[in-house]
Amino acid sequence: MKNFITILFLTLSTTVFGQSEPLVVLDGYFIKRGKATALADIGLENIKDTTFIKPDSAIQLIEERGKNGLFVIETTRSKDHKVAPEDLYFNNPPLLLINHIQSNMNDLNQLNPEEIDSIWVRPPLEMVQIRGLDMVGGIILIYTKLNEPLDETLLADSTITVNENKIKLPTFQLELKLSKLAEKELKKSKESIVIVAYIRGTLKNSDEKNEYQIGKYSVEVTSERIVTLDDVYVSKKEFDKLEDPNFEVLINVFSGRKSSQFNILDVNILQEPLEQLKGKRHYLKGRLITEM
């Protein structure tokens, strides 16, 4: 009934008030079809939910293309169902990351299928909300079996631990692989490295699709390039607000800014559900911002 009322209201608002057609987002993908055509093609029985993102907010996401708002359709179809390439509104290809390193189709073709551990697809709308218009192609994340499990001692601590007031996250590791120039500059300037983990998820019973931050953890290192995150905690009160306990962890890496005013490192981010992070070592590749 909620879906029907939402669809009816939006249809009437377009017809009665003369409002121009919003851009349609189907299961996270911006498509060329108009609202009425998309709804007719999908069928009400296959619609899980609909949301209208107002023009002011839509413009912040996709600039002038959002001037009439966004009509977001979520269906009950399997995640394996793909939007046809010819139906996509934007022609931008998805960003391909292999073990968190930006890659291309040639890199992918060189992989033996048996080497692939898992594939994660993040649709365009989700990525635009996080990282802006450049991400209208979405992201494809491929993990190979090179991200080996931790040793038995650390692996034993790879589950969520809950007590009355706080929750301990599962253990995982990060290994920084910096360029020779970056290592040289860090050593010369006695610069440290700061690793920041943002713990985020979607709130229960909320129409907001943006991630809600429930915790933040940071650690500063000097010569270390392998960092074990085994003491990250979040408030149980905040954790209980989340819709999905498999919340997201976003890792950012910066220089310590002791010898310079601004960050000097360009390190790829790590942004994954906790289930994908736990019990493994993950590689972050970086260089100086000034390197070409």
So what's the pLDDT on residue 27?
A: 92
pLDDT 10s digits, 219-262: 999 999 999 888 889 998 888 888 887 788 999 999 987 777 78
- Tokens 């189709």 appear where? 105
pLDDT 10s digits, 90-136: 989 999 988 767 888 888 888 888 778 778 888 999 889 877 888 89
d(CA 267, CA 218): 16
Rounded to two decimals, the pTM is: 0.53
Sheet holding 29-31, edge to edge: 29-31, 23-26, 70-75, 47-53
> What one-character DSSP code corresponds to residue 4?
H
pLDDT bin (cut points 50, 70, 90) of residue 154 is: low
